[in-house]
A and B are shown apart, each in its own frame.
Chain A
C-alpha cells in the first residue's frame, strides 16, 4: 500500500504541468503540514501542531491577516519518508496550500527536498521544518527552506564543546541509523575533529524502536570504550530506553546528552515512569540541548505570551490524528517551537501587501532583520541566509523537572 501511494505520488509529480503561481484562496491562508500524528513520535507532531495552531487561532480571533484567517492542513506521515512525499504532493496539487509549514523529522524532510525542487516554478517554500539536518541549510536545497531552529550541527557542536571544555574528551555516540542519526554523527565527528578528537564508539538502533525495547547491546558496545560522555541522536522513546539500560548496566554516572529533536519533556516523562518501574532514579546526569529558550521562562516576553495563548486559545485537534491514550500537554518545548514558528510567519505575512503570493511571503521573510520574537535573540534572514537562529540552549533534569543548564562544571574532570 505504501508503495502504491508513493507510486501515485510520483505519477502526480511528473504528470502535472507547471502551474503559474496563483494567489491563495480569498478566505483562508492554508498552510500544509506533514508530521507524525500517530506512532511513537506522534507527541512531537501533535504538540508542534498545537503550538502553531493556538497562535494562529489567536491571530484569527483578532482579525487575522487583513481579514484573512490562517489554517494548517495537516496530514499524518507517522515519521516515515514515503507518506511524507505523498502528503506533500497532495498538499501542493490538491489542497493548493500557500506554503509548506513546520514539517517534522530529518529522514522525512530530506526526502521532500527534490519534490520542492520540482515545484520551484510555483515558488513553493518549506517554512521552519522541525529538523536540524545540514542538508536543509546547504545548497542546493537551502534556497527553498527557511529554518528558524538551529541545526543539529550547531547542537552537537555546542554539546561537544561543552563536554570537552569540562574535560570529557572520550565521547561516544548512540544514534538512530538513518539520515537524522547520520547527520548528528557527522556533526559530532566534525566538532570532535575541531578539537583533534574522534568518536570513541558508535552504536545504532533502528527507527521506530520503543521504550520497551532493550538497548543493552548498544550500552555494552559503548561501555567497552569507557566513554566520558554519550551523545544520543534519536527519538525520545529510544533515547529513554538507552538511558535506562545505560544506567542499569554500569554507565550510571557519565552524562548522557540528547538533541532537541528527542523532546525533553516526553523523555523526562518516560524516564520518570521507567525510574518507578526499575526502582532506580534514571533522571540524573542528563543534558538536553535545545534550539529555543525554556518555554517556562516567564522573564521572556515570548514565554509569557506563549502561556497566555496556550491557555486562552484552545486547539481542536483534527480527526485524522491518533489521539488514543494521548493526553495533550498544556505546555511543552515542542508546542513552544510551533508557537514561535507561527509567530514569525504571522510577522512576515503582516508585511505582505495583499494579495498574498508565495513570492511576496518569501520576500517578506528575507527582509526580516534583527527581529526578536520575544526570546531575547535576534532573528535575521537574507537573500542567501535562510537560517533564522544560531543559538543553542541547554537544560537538565532536577528532581524530575526540566531546568535550564548553565553550569557544566558538575561534570568537570
Chain B
C-alpha cells in the first residue's frame, strides 16, 4: 500500500521527535542517577564511618585488634561496601578486610597521610573523600572518618565505584531498552494507523475522480465509523444522488417533450370542440387562429375568417373596456402600466351575424406576451340561453321568499308558548326541591331512627340515628335487605299488601333490636307504607326509638314502688319498736349504774343489753330500709371511710382486700353510719361468697354521668365505688331478686342486708348495680352524687363517753315513760331536768324562766307530738324568744326531713331514738360547749 505523502512526513517527524526525547531523557537520567547514587553511597559510607567512630570509641581506643576486626567484619555485609579498615594514629593498619592482602595503593594512601593534615583554616577536616585505584579490583571511593578528630586514628570505608557505574549503566540500559521498545511499538502502531487512515483516503480520492468523470459505476468500500467512514458514506450518497439527478433530468426532458406534444394535440382538439368561439390575433389585430365554433356562431365560412381582423369580424361597437385592451396590443406594454398578460373577462356584448341577426355574447379578451410577440385571444360565448334561464330563476326566487316570510311568523308564535310552559315547570321543581331539603333535614334532626325501603324491603335511606342504633352506615346498608340492618326478634313484614291501618299508631310496638356490634337495644317501632299518587304501596318507612333507658327507669320505678309499700309497713312497726327499745335499753343502763355490781345481775343485764342491741339493730335496719332512716348527711371524704369500713369488716377473715382509691376522689355528702352499713353489707356478702378465702377489690373513681348514659341517674358528677369479689357468683335468675327484702340464700341471713343497702343508696339519690357470673365473681357498683367544691373535714365520731355536766335542761316529750327515763338519766349526768308534755308547755316554761333570769342551758324536744305542738313548730317560736337557745331535736323518724336538715330549722343537734345515756351526754356536751 502506498502511504500518503502527508503521512510519510508526519511519521518521519514523529520518529525524529521520539528519538530526541529518548536521547534527552537517557542522558539526563544517566547524569541524574550517577549523581544520586554516588551521593547516596557517599552519605551511606559516611554515616557508617561516623557511627563506628562515635559509638565504638572505647574499643578503638583500646586498640584491641580482635574486637575492632569483629566490628568492621559486620560492615562488609552491607551492600556495596568493599572494604573497611582501621588506621591507628601512627598510620598503622590495625584491622582490615582486604583479601588477599592490603593493596599497595591503600598503603600508599595511608603512608601519605595527607588527608589528615589540617586544612587552611587550621582545623582537621571531619571526613575526606578520595578515589583510589586498586589494581585488579577497580576504583573505590574511600571515605575516611577521623576518630577523636584524628587523635585515635581513623576508620576507612571503601565503596565500590565500579558497582555504582554498573548500576548506572544497568539502569540506563534498561531505560533505553524500554524507550526503544516503546518506540518500536509506537512506530509499528503508527505505521498501521497511518496505513489504515491513508488507504481509505486514497480510495476516496479515486472515487471522487471517477465521479468527476461521470463514472457512477466506481465502487467505494469503506465501512468504518470514523470521520473518513462518514465522509465515504456521504460521498457515496452524494454520488448516488448525482446519478439519480442526472438520469432524472434526462428522463424529464424526454417526458416534457412528449407531454408538450400531447398537450398540443389535446389543446387543438379542445379548442376545436369547445362551445365557445375562439379567436387569436397578432399584435396588429390580424386573426391568426380560430376554432370552427366561431365560424358557426357567426355563420361564416371558414375561409372568410382567416384574413380578417378581430374588429372587422365582430363589428365596431365594442364596449370601451374591450376597445382599450385591443388598442394596447402592439404597443409596449410596459409603458402602459399594464401586466404582461392583460385580460378582461365576460364582457357582455351583442354581435351581429352576417345575416344581420344579433345575439348576446360574453367576450373575454386576453393579451398574451410571448417571445413571438403580443397576441390577443378572444373567447366569445353565446349566452342567449343563459339569459333566458336567469329571467326564469328570478321569478321563482321571489315566489319562495314570500313563502318563507309566512312560515316564520307561525314559528314565533309557537316559541312563545313553549317558553311560558318551561317557566311554570321550573317553579314547580324548585318547590319540590326545597320540600325535599326540608324533609331530609327533618329526618336527620329527629331523635328517632328512620329507615325507608322500597317495595321489596331493600333499604333506600337511613338517618343518622338509625345508623347509630343499627350500627350500619347508610352507604353500607343501601340496597341491602331491610332485615339485615334492622334485626329484631319479630321482623316487620313489608309487602305490597300493607295498608295504612297497619301502622296507624306511631311507635306503638316494642322490639329488641340487635345492632351490628351485638348490643341489644329496646326500641319502640312503627312501620308505615309509602304510597304513591294512585294509593299504591311504593315502599315502607320504619321509625324506631331507643327506649332502653326508659325501660330501665320504669324497672327502677317499679322496684322503688314495691319497696316503699313494704317500707311503710315496716317503718311503722320499727318506730314504735324503737321507742320501746329505747326505754328498755335505758332502763337496763340505769339498772346497771345503780346496782352494786352483783356479778349475776350484771351478766343478766349484759345479755339483756346484747339482745336489745340486736333488736335495735334490726329495728334500725327495718327503719332504714323503709326509708325511715333518712340519711343525716355530712360532707365526707370516701377514702378513709372506705378503708376503715372494709378493714374492719375483714378483720379475722381469710379474705384480702385491694383498695384502689385515687387521691383526687371527689367528696360526697352522705350519712357516715349508713354508708358504713352499705359497705359492711357488700363486704360481708363478698366474704361469705368466698368461704375458701380470696381477694376483694374495692375501687373508687369519679364519673360524669350524661343524659344518654344507661345508668338511671340524672346527669352530673358522681363517685363510683365498686366492690368486686372472686366468689361463687349469683345465678342470673336470682339477680333481680337480691335487693328484695327478706330474700336470702343464706341460712342465717335476715334478707335485709342488700334491701337496706339499696334503700340507703336510693335515699342518697344514688344508684346501685350488680353484675355477676357464676363461679367467677360478683361486682357491685355504687354511684353517689359528688359534692361540688367542698373539702370535707373528715373527723371520725368520737367514742361515746359519759361525761357529766351541769345546767338546767328542758325536756319536751309526750311519752311519760321516756320523761321518767330522761329524768333519771339527766340527773345521773349531773343536770337539772325540767319536763314539758308538748310544745306549748315547753314555750311557757322557757318564757317563765327567761323572765326570772333563769334560762335553760339546753332544750331537748321531740319532733312530733300527737295532737299537740311538736318540736318543728315549737322551735320557730322558741328561736323568736331566744335566738341563742340550744335545742336538740329527738325523734324516732329519722327519715323526716327535719332530722336530716335540722340546722335549717334552728336545732343544734339531733338525738335519734332509741338513744343511750352516752349519746345524751355527748350531744348535750356538744351543744353546751359549742
Question: Are A203 and B73 in contact (CB-based, < 8 A)?
Answer: no
Tell me the complex Cα distance, A135–B67, Å: 7
Pair B101/A204 contact, Cβ less than 8 Å: yes
Provide the residues of chain B in CB contact with A110, threshold 8 Å. 66-67, 70
Whether B66 contacts A106 by the Cβ 8 Å rule is yes
In contact, B100 and A182 (Cβ under 8 angstroms):
no
- Which chain B residue shows the least CB distance to A206? B99
Q: Tell me, in angstroms, the Cα distance from A133 to B68 when the chains sit together.
A: 13
Please tell me which stretch of B20-28, B90-98, B153-161 contacts chain A, meaning at least 4 of its Cβ atoms lie within 8 angstroms of it.
B90-98
Other-chain contact of A181, B67, B69, B100 (Cβ < 8 Å): B69
Q: Do the beta carbons of B98 and A135 come within 8 Å of each other?
A: no
A34: interface (CB < 8 Å): no
With a cutoff of 8 Å between Cβ atoms, the chain A residues found around residue B68 in the complex are: 182
Contacts of A46 in B (CB 8 A): none
Q: Which residues of A contact B99 (CB under 8 A)?
A: 177, 204-206
| Residues of chain B lying within 8 A (CB to CB) of residue A185 | 65
Q: Which residue of B lies closest to A207 (CB)?
A: B73
- Map CB proximity to A onto B96-111 as digits: 1 under 8 Å, 0 otherwise: 1111111000000000
CB-CB nearest in chain A for B73: A178
Cα A110 to Cα B100 in complex, Å, equals 24
Contacting residue for B100 out of A106, A135, A179, A205, CB 8 A: A205
Q: With A and B bound together, what is the CA distance between A217 and B135 in angstroms? A: 14
Q: Any chain A CB within 8 A of the CB of B64?
A: yes
Interchain CB contact under 8 A, B100 and A217: yes
B501, CB-defined interface residue at 8 Å? no
A218 close to B65 (CB less than 8 A):
no
In the complex, which residues of chain B have a beta carbon less than 8 angstroms from the beta carbon of A204? Answer: 98-101
Residues of B within 8 A of A203 (CB): 100-101
State whether B70 touches A177 (Cβ < 8 A): no
Note all chain A residues with C-beta closer than 8 A to B97. 177
Residue interface bits A213-238, CB-to-B below 8 A is 1, else 0: 00001100100000000000000000
Size class of the contact patch on chain B: 10 to 19
Judge whether B535 is part of the interface by a CB distance below 8 angstroms. Answer: no
Q: Determine if A134 and B101 form an interchain contact, defined as CB atoms under 8 angstroms apart.
A: no
> Which residue in chain B gives the minimum CB-CB distance to A202?
B101
- Provide the bound-state CA to CA distance between A201 and B74, in Å: 25
Contact mask for chain B residues 55-67; partner A; CB cutoff 8 A; 1 contact, 0 none? 0000000001111
What 0/1 pattern do residues 176 to 197 of A give for CB contact below 8 A with B? 0111011101100000000000
Tell me if A's interface is mostly helix, strand, loop or mixed. Answer: helix
CB pair A182–B74 under 8 Å, yes or no, is: no
Question: Is the Cβ of A179 less than 8 Å from the Cβ of B73?
Answer: yes
- A182: contacting residue among B69, B98, B101, B102, CB under 8 A: B69
Query: A303 in the interface, Cβ–Cβ < 8 Å?
Result: no
Given contacts A81-B74, A135-B64, contact A179 B101 (CB under 8 A): no
Q: With an 8 A cutoff between CB atoms, is A107 at the interface?
A: yes
Q: Is A111 positioned at the interface, with any CB of B under 8 Å from its CB?
A: yes
B65 is contacted by which of A107, A183, A202, A221 (Cβ under 8 Å)? A183
**Residue of A177, A181, A202 with most chain B CB atoms under a 10 A cut-off:** A177
With A203-B101, A204-B101, A221-B100 as contacts: A134 and B66 at CB distance below 8 Å: yes
| Minimum Cβ distance to chain B for residue A258 (Å) | 18
Distance of A218 Cα from B102 Cα, bound (Å) = 11
Contact A107 B100 (CB under 8 A): no
Complex alpha-carbon distance, A181 and B72, angstroms: 13
Residues facing B in A119-138 (CB within 8 A) are 133-135
Tell me the smallest distance from the CB of B319 to a CB of chain A, in Å. 131
- Residues A135 and B66 in contact in the complex (CB < 8 Å), given A177-B96, A178-B73, A179-B73: yes
> Measured between C-beta atoms, what is the minimum distance from A73 to chain B in Å?
25
Range, interface on chain A: 20 to 34
Of residues 457 through 509 on chain B, the ones whose CB sits less than 8 Å from some CB of chain A are: none
Is B98 a contact of A186 with CB atoms below 8 Å?
Answer: no
Residues of B within 8 A of A201 (CB): 101
A80 and chain B: residue at smallest CB distance: B77
B100 near A133: Cβ-Cβ < 8 Å:
no
Bound CA–CA A183/B70 (angstroms): 10
Check B101 against A133 for contact (C-beta < 8 Å): no
In the assembled complex, which residues on chain A have CB atoms less than 8 Å from the CB atom of B100? 203-205, 217-218, 221
Least CB distance, A412 to chain B, in whole angstroms: 29
Kindly provide the distance from the CB of A322 to the nearest chain B CB, expressed in whole angstroms.
Answer: 22
* Interface residue from A107, A133, A218, A221 paired with B73 (Cβ < 8 Å): A107
- A16 to chain B: closest CB distance in Å? 23
Report chain B residues within 8 Å CB of A106.
66
For the complex, what is the distance from the CA of A134 to the CA of B67, rounded to whole Å? 10
Bound CA–CA A186/B50 (angstroms): 26
Most buried by B among A134, A135, A179: A179
Interface string of A79-102 (1 = CB under 8 A from B): 001000000000000000000000
- A111 to chain B: which residues have CB within 8 Å? 70
Taking CB atoms, residues of chain B closer than 8 Å to A134 are 64, 66
> Across the interface, do A179 and B98 meet the contact criterion of CB distance under 8 Å?
no
8 Å CB contacts to B: which residues of A291-307? none
Which one, B64, B70, B101, contacts A107 given CB within 8 A?
A: B70
Pick from A81, A177, A183, A202: contact of B66, CB below 8 A: A183
- When C-beta atoms are compared, the residue in chain A nearest to B62 turns out to be A138
Residues on A with C-beta less than 8 A from B98 are: 177, 204
Q: Quick one: which of B69, B96, B99, B101 has the most chain A CB within 10 A?
A: B69
Give Cα A246–Cα B99 distance, bound, in whole angstroms: 17
How far, in Å, is B493 (CB) from chain A's closest CB?
Answer: 108
Q: Which residue of B lies closest to A203 (CB)?
A: B100
Q: How far is the CB of B164 from chain A (nearest CB, A)?
A: 22
Task: Specify which chain A residues have a CB less than 8 angstroms from the CB of B67 in the assembled complex.
Answer: 110, 135, 179
Contact A179 to B96, CB < 8 A, known contacts A202-B101, A203-B101, A204-B101: no
B522 to chain A, nearest CB (A): 97
List the B side residues contacting A183 at CB < 8 Å: 65-66, 69
Closest to B70 in A: A179
Q: How far, in whole Å, are A173 and B96 apart by their CA atoms in the complex?
A: 15
Output the nearest chain B residue to A111 by Cβ-Cβ distance: B70
Please tell me if the beta carbons of B101 and A186 are within 8 angstroms of each other in the complex: no
Find chain B residues with CB under 8 A from A181 CB: 69
Q: Are A221 and B101 in contact (CB under 8 A)?
A: yes
Q: How far is the CB of B156 from chain A (nearest CB, A)?
A: 15
- State the Cβ distance, B910 to closest chain A Cβ, in Å: 100
Residues of chain B from 729 to 762 with CB closer than 8 A to chain A in the complex: none
Task: Tell me the complex Cα distance, A48–B701, Å.
Answer: 105
User: Complex: how many Å from CA A202 to CA B65?
Assistant: 15
Q: How far is the CB of A115 from chain B (nearest CB, A)?
A: 14
**A111 to B66 CA separation, bound complex (whole angstroms):** 11
Q: How far is the CB of B96 from chain A (nearest CB, A)?
A: 7
**Cβ distance A173 to chain B, nearest Cβ, rounded Å:** 10
11 examples of A-B residue contacts, CB within 8 angstroms: A107-B70, A134-B66, A177-B69, A177-B96, A179-B66, A179-B69, A181-B69, A182-B70, A202-B102, A217-B100, A221-B101
- B residues touching A (Cβ–Cβ < 8 Å)? 64-70, 73-74, 95-102
- Rank and list the top 7 A-B pairs by shortest CB-CB distance, nearest first: A182-B69, A179-B70, A183-B66, A218-B100, A203-B100, A179-B69, A186-B65
Could you list 7 further interchain pairs (A-B, Cβ under 8 angstroms) beyond the known A134-B66, A135-B67? A135-B66, A179-B73, A181-B69, A183-B65, A185-B65, A205-B100, A218-B100
